[in-house]
């Protein structure tokens, strides 16, 4: 059924030109898959636990949510710049409606997994237990990696490196379109977490490039500094702030330090409204001279991506950087973020890619096209 389903997506995507066709194509495909499919190999036990709960969606609720934002979702669908992105967007919406037992999101997931096999062998063979006190989200010690991959050394304490190194997350490269950190680039790593992405970006940009890494949590920043030191990095700058459209760092001493012993990749202001975090906008740092220029912005900041973009208006207008923005933390991110970018920065061409078998790790990539400016 999966092959049939994917063929139908490809056929329909090419024919979808109006809102009504978009709506009924999504609804009919979702219903068809719910009726005919019952996948037992589409549950990520490493992420969500060993037990597969089976079908766990409320179709009526999801249909109502989809219908409520149908116009905006269709706008995003139409503005995506290639067939692959449109097919993925279509499939992703079907998955949101009927879930993992009915829909497999990616048409090339098996190819992606096969491509990571050699990387995982190298990484796993080098893995030892970290000496740091920080624990992962399951309460286990972090992993310590020390290996050579594609002629580059990686010496990093973190959870794993499969997504960014094995799958190329934040390195979009399809159909002669490449949106990625390159030699000499100046990069924003929004949501640096444990510093693994910053270290990999550091290798990509080289000695003439620079990485500005942002994370507001003390425990995370301790690990980031450790990783910068052990890899002997001198082209990365750590800002212990969260990115937003506001700035409150004038009196940092008045803000409490957030100490954690267990890493918190999902830590967000929305889930911790009583906590005051140090926040800064990229426009503020540019005005102060703390940032020289920006060529690439990566944002994975647990639902604060839109606010961070709103706080980077001057930066984006001035430098027109490549963008890699997480698109899954809030349900409305799927349309609010692309529409905001399209409305305010019309010089971008938009693409998406995806790095799991579930809803997480959907990334919006934006390539500046000066002819559109």
**β-strand partners of 143:** 129, 158
pLDDT of residue 1: 43
Q: What is the DSSP string of 277-307?
A: --EE-HHHHHHHTS----SEEEE--TT-HHH
Fold entry, domain 178-326: Rossmann fold (3.40.50)
Exposure letters 75-92 (e unless 16+ CB within 10 A, then b): ebbebbbeebbbbbbbbb
pLDDT of residue 5: 56
Q: Are 357 and 343 in contact (CB under 8 A)?
A: no
* pLDDT tens per residue across span 108-124: 888 888 889 999 999 99
pLDDT of residue 46: 83
Helices within the chain (DSSP H only): 2-15, 19-36, 45-48, 59-68, 70-79, 83-98, 109-126, 196-205, 218-230, 282-288, 305-310, 313-319, 333-344
pLDDT of residue 169: 96
pLDDT of residue 2: 46
Half-sphere exposure of residue 107: CA atoms within 13 angstroms, side-chain side: 17
Domain boundaries, the chain: 2-98, 178-326
C-alpha 359, offset from chain centre:
11
Helix (H) or strand (E) holding 100, with range, is: none
Distance from C-alpha of 91 to C-alpha of 4, rounded to nearest angstrom: 13
pLDDT of residue 55: 85
pLDDT of residue 11: 57
* pLDDT by residue, tens only, the chain of 373 residues: 444 455 556 557 888 999 999 999 999 999 989 888 999 999 999 888 888 999 888 888 999 999 999 999 999 999 999 999 999 999 999 999 999 999 999 778 888 888 899 999 999 999 999 999 989 888 899 999 999 999 999 999 999 999 999 999 999 999 999 999 999 999 999 999 999 999 999 999 999 999 999 999 889 999 999 999 999 999 999 999 999 999 987 765 555 566 666 676 666 666 666 667 889 999 999 999 999 999 999 999 989 999 999 999 999 999 999 999 999 999 999 999 999 999 999 999 999 999 999 999 999 999 998 766 5
pLDDT of residue 110: 84
* pLDDT tens per residue across span 185-225: 999 999 999 999 999 999 999 999 999 999 998 899 999 99
pLDDT of residue 112: 86
């Amino acid at each position: 059924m999966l092959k049939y389903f994917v063929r139908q997506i490809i056929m329909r995507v090419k024919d979808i030109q109006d809102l009504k066709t978009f709506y009924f194509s999504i609804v009919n495909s979702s219903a068809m898959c719910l009726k005919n499919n019952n996948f037992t190999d589409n549950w990520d036990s490493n992420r969500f636990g060993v037990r597969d709960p089976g079908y766990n969606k409320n179709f009526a609720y999801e249909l109502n949510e989809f219908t409520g934002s149908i116009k905006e979702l269709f706008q995003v669908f139409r503005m995506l710049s290639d067939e692959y992105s449109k097919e993925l967007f279509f499939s992703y919406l079907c998955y949101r409606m009927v879930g993992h037992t009915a829909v497999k999101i990616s048409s090339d997931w098996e190819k992606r997994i096969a491509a990571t096999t050699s990387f995982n062998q190298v990484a796993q063979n080098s893995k030892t237990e970290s000496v740091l006190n920080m624990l992962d989200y399951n309460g286990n010690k972090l992993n310590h990696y020390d290996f050579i991959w594609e002629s580059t050394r990686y010496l990093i304490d973190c959870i794993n490196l499969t997504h960014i190194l094995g799958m190329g997350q934040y390195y979009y490269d399809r159909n002669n379109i490449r949106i990625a950190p390159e030699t000499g680039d100046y990069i924003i790593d929004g949501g640096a977490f444990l510093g693994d992405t910053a270290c990999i970006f550091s290798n990509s940009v080289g000695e003439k490039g620079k990485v500005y890494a942002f994370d507001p949590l003390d425990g995370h920043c301790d690990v980031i500094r450790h990783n910068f030191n052990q890899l002997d990095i001198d082209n990365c700058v750590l800002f212990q702030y969260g990115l937003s459209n506001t700035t409150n760092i004038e009196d940092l001493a008045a803000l409490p330090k957030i100490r954690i012993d267990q890493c918190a990749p999902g830590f967000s202001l929305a889930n911790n409204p009583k906590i005051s975090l140090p926040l800064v906008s990229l426009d503020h740092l540019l005005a102060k001279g703390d940032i020289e220029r920006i060529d690439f912005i990566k944002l994975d900041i647990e639902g604060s991506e839109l606010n961070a973009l709103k706080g980077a208006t001057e930066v984006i207008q001035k430098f027109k950087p490549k963008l890699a923005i997480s698109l899954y933390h809030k349900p409305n991110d799927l349309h609010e973020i692309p529409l905001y970018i399209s409305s305010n920065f019309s010089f971008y061409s938009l693409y998406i890619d995806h790095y799991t078998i579930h809803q997480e790790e959907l990334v919006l990539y934006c390539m500046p096209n000066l002819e559109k400016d």
